[in-house]
């Protein structure tokens, strides 16, 4: 008979949790998205929980695209309130959102993130230009006006000024927002600078830009689908490796990594803010306006995030590696006014 | 077999290709016996080598876990006496980010402390504060809010040292490593060395690592696994209260009552197959069914528990059926023979005898579920989530929380090396739980299992 009572107790417990689940309203802000924005969002969430009467928001990671997809699932308590993104929302995503009923979206730019190239601290020093990266990693390069497959083995083959170290690059995989920035700001620029773009254009006007972005597949460039910690582990295992990192990750691991200059500029929050260092991108979060007033503290959180004390040049986010937005005052005004996309 | 017969010495009728023997004495080994003995010896040594390789992996793993993780249980604290000046506190409470405003109090106290210790430095107060956790201000403010009577007094605080100072005491951070670091300078370490001599900087056991909540990326020293542990606990409750009754009921029906036909065969094959389905598949199923269709809250231990229940059910059904099968038919026959109904024979006789086996299977299944991360990735339990203690049982099931393995995974991903150390420490705690569960399973089996 013991067993019977056990079964009935279990059934009761399940029923009780199911009923109370419907009754309880959510009082916590839910955020998901880019793993680049995650550290900043977690710092703000922690401070928000400590400084206000609202509970600490929860921040999930998973990547910009995954976060925006979740964001566009619809309106309601069991959908997320904020999506973090390391790239602007795409037209197709806005459309998908609208179809699911998510019509008013507030776009908030929190600052800029630098992308750096770093190698083992005991290895050679590097001073790159975008053209070096293009010539090292492109599937096909232009030699004496002819398009030939890339056979460069060492960095010295690419540019005689660089050390004769075998080319081994760990670049972000295609699911990362960082990959797009790498392609756009480094490879595409290098393609243009080295003159390859003009040669490609002569052969095929439309496909030239795409051809620039085709990378070698003979093992010298490795896509990393994991996080920066994986890239770091790869470099520790292969001392010739050069990895692509976020500035804040590099600044936390300066005992293991040294950073390369691009066009002679050392990456830092200063050189990125001034625009001297070329490889950077804006970071955003998107707020579901329909949830403001429903989920307690949502508007307050958005304003808290971009306040001078947090996102300003001397705030904790800048301390952690975020390049603060020179137009922060405008962002603050837009958030306070509740300005939405396209309005 | 041919080997053995061919080798039997002096067998009558031994004719064809048997080797010519030099002697027929049993005490002198002939070539073939020696060869067979040698091959046996070789096989035994292969076995020993295999066991040794396995053991060495285990030793290496345990060594890595213990040497990397044990340091996570200690933390460096800096003793600072802070005068809680009323005017300064009121000014701080009026600002937007109150916690950072409390830094003014800490800066002044830190300067005074160094002056009292006879340490001179030309660092600015804000730079000097880098040796303390960025959560120091929160620590002071929480004390003030809890003890408003202390305003106006001077209170001695044990403030968390910054992760890099802590790493210095643990041997992880060296002066050379700080050469390019913007978070701490070698000069800070000189001050730490002097304060160590005075005994006001101390490294000791840190309960907050075991009981505390997760902390943001800027203060790894304050991160703890406690809230994630609570999340795991509620998930295991759901798993226990769902998978045990469902699993046992299903197996009793299949084993004792169900007719043997094609349909039950199909069910049986499917259960066996389900046990081999990768756990991530259950995660995606959980996302589609529980969150998107049933509208249960995201990141909730209830949903995590439901997903893990799906994953554990086949394991429990298979082990329960094995336990029921192991009860000899004579028990059932005897019960039926004295007039018990089928149900009475099962519930009064078969089930109690099978209980130890069922319990063992359930605990092993739950231990498996406790260590599972993959399905939790998809239902939103990985990230900066385990930051609030749930208030009450309902919130325990429904408010967002993480789980121990998910928290470990999250820490391993973060940029600051101090989080990596926390991840190893978390592994030690998780392993302790798994070990405890397995030991309970072994004790149950040893104590209550009956053999026929």
Q: How high is the mean pLDDT of chain B?
A: 89
Q: In this structure, what are the phi and psi dihedrals at residue A237, rounded to the nearest 5 degrees?
A: -80, -30
The pLDDT tens digits for B287-318 are 899 988 888 888 899 999 999 999 999 999 99
Residue A225: what pLDDT?
A: 84
**CA A159 centroid distance within chain:** 30
Average pLDDT estimate for A210-236: 89
Interface of B with A in 33-52 (CB under 8 A): none
The minimal CB distance from A20 to the residues B138, B173, B394 is found for B394
Cα–Cα distances in angstroms (integers) from residue B41 to residues A174, B38, B46, B52, B77, in the given order: 54, 5, 9, 16, 59
For residue A180, the model assigns a pLDDT of 85
All domains in chain B, ordered by first residue? 2-70 (no CATH), 73-208 (no CATH), 226-448 (1.10.3720.10)
Rounded Cα–Cα distance for residues A260 and A170 (Å): 14
Question: Least CB-CB distance to A21: which of B96, B242, B398?
Answer: B398
Chain A residues touching residue B384 (CB < 8 angstroms): 38, 41-42, 45-46, 58-59
Give Cα separations from B312 to A212, B8, B242, B371 (angstroms).
50, 54, 10, 12
Min Cα–Cα distance to chain B from A12, Å: 10
Lowest mean pLDDT among A333-342, B20-29, B109-118, B188-197: B20-29
Task: State the DSSP string of B269-335.
Answer: HHHHHHTTS-HHHHHHHHIIIIIIIT-PPTT-HHHHHHHHHHHHHHHHHHHHHHHHHTS-HHHHHHH
Contact assessment for residue A48 and residue A301, using Cβ atoms and an 8 Å cutoff? yes
Q: What pLDDT is recorded for position A66?
A: 85
Task: Give the mean model confidence (pLDDT) for residues B147-169.
Answer: 91
Instruction: Please name the residues between 29 and 58 in chain A that touch chain B, using a CB distance below 8 Å.
Output: 30, 32, 35, 38-39, 41-43, 45-47, 49-51, 55-56, 58
B94 touches chain A (CB under 8 A): no
* Record: contact B387-A229, CB cut-off 8 A: no
**In whole numbers, what is the pLDDT of chain A averaged over residues?**
87
Question: Would you state the structure tokens that stand for residue B95, as one six-digit string?
Answer: 């600002």
Nearest-angstrom CA–CA distance, B225 and B208: 8
Instruction: Please write the tens of the pLDDT for every residue from B160-170.
Output: 999 999 999 99
Q: What is the pLDDT of residue B19?
A: 56
User: Could you tell me if B412 and B311 are in contact, meaning their C-beta atoms sit under 8 angstroms apart?
Assistant: no
Inspect the interface and report whether the beta carbons of B177 and A254 lie closer than 8 Å.
yes
Query: In this predicted structure, what is the pLDDT of residue A314?
Result: 85
pLDDT band at residue B205 using 50, 70 and 90 as cut-offs = very high
Contact B383 A251 (CB under 8 A): no
Burial class (CB in 10 A: 0-12, 13-18, 19+), B371: middle
Rounded to whole angstroms, the Cα distance separating A267 from B136 reads: 30
Q: What is the pTM of this model?
A: 0.86
B215 reaches A (C-beta below 8 A) = yes
A28 touches chain B (CB under 8 A): yes
Using the Cβ of A134 and the Cβ atoms of chain B, whether some distance falls under 8 Å is answered with: no
Model confidence over A11-21: pLDDT tens digits? 555 544 444 44
pLDDT digits (tens, 9 = 90+) for B81-135: 999 888 888 888 888 888 888 888 898 898 888 888 888 888 888 888 889 998 8
Q: What is the mean pLDDT of residues B403-422?
A: 92
SS3 sequence of B326-338 = CCCHHHHHHHHHC
- Please report the pLDDT score of residue B124 as a whole number: 86
Mean predicted confidence (pLDDT) in B65-81: 92
> If we measure between CA atoms, which residue out of B7, B10, B13, B5 comes closest to residue B30?
B7
Does B23 or A247 have the greater pLDDT score? A247
Dump pLDDT digits (tens) for B247-298.
Answer: 999 999 999 999 989 999 999 999 999 888 999 999 999 989 998 888 888 8
pLDDT of residue B14: 47
Distance in angstroms (rounded) separating the CA atoms of residues B171 and B189? 12
- Decide if B297 and A80 are in contact by the 8 Å CB cutoff: no
Question: What pLDDT, on a 0 to 100 scale, did the predictor assign at position B223?
Answer: 94
10 Å CB burial of residue B332 (0-12, 13-18, 19+) is middle
**Given B176, B179, B298, which is nearest A30 (Cβ)?**
B298
Q: Shortest Cα distance from A21 to chain B (angstroms)? A: 7
Terminal alpha carbon distance of chain B: 34
Give chain A's end-to-end CA distance (angstroms, integer).
67
- Across the interface, of B244, B302, B384, the residue whose CB is closest to A45 is B384
Q: For the range A14-21, what are the long-range contacts, defined as Cβ-Cβ under 8 Å and sequence gap of 24 or more?
A: A14/B241, A14/B242, A17/B238, A17/B302, A17/B394, A17/B397, A17/B398, A20/B394, A20/B397, A20/B398, A21/B296, A21/B297, A21/B302, A21/B397, A21/B398
pLDDT of the residue at B101: 83
Task: Answer whether B202's CB lies under 8 Å from B229's CB.
Answer: no
Query: Is the model's pLDDT at B5 over the cut of 50?
Result: no
**B100/A316 CB distance under 8 A:** yes
């Amino acid at each position: 008979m013991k067993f019977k009572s056990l079964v009935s107790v279990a059934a009761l417990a399940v029923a009780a949790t199911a009923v109370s689940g419907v009754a309880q309203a959510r009082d916590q802000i839910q955020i998901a998205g880019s793993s680049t924005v995650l550290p900043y969002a977690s710092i703000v969430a922690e401070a928000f929980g400590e400084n206000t009467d609202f509970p600490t928001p929860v921040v999930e990671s998973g990547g910009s695209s995954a976060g925006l997809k979740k964001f566009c699932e619809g309106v309601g308590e069991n959908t997320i309130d904020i999506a973090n993104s390391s790239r602007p929302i795409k037209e197709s995503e806005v459309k998908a959102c609208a179809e699911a009923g998510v019509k008013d979206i507030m776009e908030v730019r929190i600052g800029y993130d630098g992308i750096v190239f770093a190698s083992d601290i005991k290895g050679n020093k590097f001073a790159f230009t975008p053209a070096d990266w293009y010539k090292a990693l492109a599937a096909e390069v232009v030699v004496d006006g002819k398009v030939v497959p890339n056979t460069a083995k060492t960095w010295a083959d690419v540019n005689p000024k660089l050390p004769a170290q075998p080319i081994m690059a760990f670049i972000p995989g295609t699911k990362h927002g960082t990959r797009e920035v790498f392609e756009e700001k480094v490879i595409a620029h290098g393609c243009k600078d080295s003159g390859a773009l003009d040669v490609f254009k002569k052969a095929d006007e439309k496909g030239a830009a795409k051809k620039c972005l085709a990378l070698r597949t003979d093992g010298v460039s490795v896509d990393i689908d994991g996080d920066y910690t994986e890239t770091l582990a790869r470099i520790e295992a292969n001392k010739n490796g050069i990895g692509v990192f976020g500035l804040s990750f590099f600044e936390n691991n300066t005992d293991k990594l040294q950073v390369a200059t691009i066009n002679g500029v050392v990456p830092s929050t200063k050189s990125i803010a001034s625009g001297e260092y070329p490889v950077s991108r804006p970071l955003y979060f998107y707020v579901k306006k329909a949830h403001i007033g429903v989920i307690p503290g949502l508007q307050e959180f958005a304003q808290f995030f971009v306040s001078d004390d947090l996102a300003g040049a001397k705030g904790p986010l800048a301390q952690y590696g975020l390049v603060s937005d020179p137009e922060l005052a405008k962002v603050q005004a837009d958030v306070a006014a509740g300005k939405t996309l396209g309005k | 077999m041919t080997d053995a017969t061919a080798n039997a010495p002096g067998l009558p009728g031994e004719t064809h290709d048997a080797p010519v023997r030099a002697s027929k004495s049993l005490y002198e080994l002939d070539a073939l016996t020696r060869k067979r003995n040698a091959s046996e010896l070789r096989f035994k040594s292969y076995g020993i080598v295999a066991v040794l390789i396995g053991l060495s992996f285990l030793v290496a793993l345990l060594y890595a876990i213990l040497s990397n993780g044990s340091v996570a249980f200690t933390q460096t604290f800096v003793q600072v006496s802070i005068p809680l000046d009323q005017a300064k506190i009121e000014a701080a409470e009026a600002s937007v980010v109150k916690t950072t405003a409390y830094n003014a109090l800490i800066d002044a106290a830190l300067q005074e402390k160094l002056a009292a210790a006879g340490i001179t430095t030309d660092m600015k107060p804000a730079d000097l504060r880098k040796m303390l956790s960025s959560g120091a201000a929160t620590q002071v403010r929480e004390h003030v809010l809890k003890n408003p009577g202390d305003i106006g007094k001077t209170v001695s605080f044990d403030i968390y040292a910054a992760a890099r100072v802590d790493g210095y005491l643990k041997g992880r951070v060296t002066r050379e490593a700080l050469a390019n670091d913007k978070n701490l300078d070698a000069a800070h370490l000189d001050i730490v060395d002097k304060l160590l001599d005075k005994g006001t900087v101390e490294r000791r056991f840190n309960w907050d690592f075991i009981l505390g909540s997760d902390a943001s990326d800027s203060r790894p020293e304050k991160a703890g696994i406690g809230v994630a542990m609570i999340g795991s606990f509620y998930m295991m409750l759901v798993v226990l209260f769902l998978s045990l009754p469902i699993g046992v009921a299903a197996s009793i029906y299949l084993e004792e009552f169900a007719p043997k036909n094609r349909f039950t065969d199909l069910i049986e094959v499917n259960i066996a197959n389900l046990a081999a389905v990768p756990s991530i598949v259950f995660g995606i199923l959980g996302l589609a069914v529980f969150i998107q269709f049933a509208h249960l809250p995201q990141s909730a231990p209830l949903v995590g528990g439901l997903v893990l229940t799906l994953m554990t059910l086949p394991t429990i059904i298979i082990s329960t059926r094995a336990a029921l099968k192991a009860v000899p038919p004579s028990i059932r026959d005897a019960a039926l023979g004295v007039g018990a109904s089928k149900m009475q024979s099962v519930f009064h006789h078969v089930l109690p005898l099978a209980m130890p086996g069922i319990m063992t299977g359930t605990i092993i299944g739950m231990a498996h579920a406790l260590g599972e991360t993959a399905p939790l990735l998809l239902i939103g339990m990985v990230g900066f989530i385990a930051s609030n203690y749930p208030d009450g049982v309902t919130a325990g099931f429904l408010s967002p929380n993480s789980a121990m393995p998910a928290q470990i995974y999250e820490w391993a991903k973060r940029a600051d090396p101090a989080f990596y150390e926390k991840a190893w420490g978390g592994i030690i705690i998780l392993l302790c739980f798994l070990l405890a569960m397995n030991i309970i399973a072994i004790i149950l089996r040893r104590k209550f299992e009956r053999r026929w």
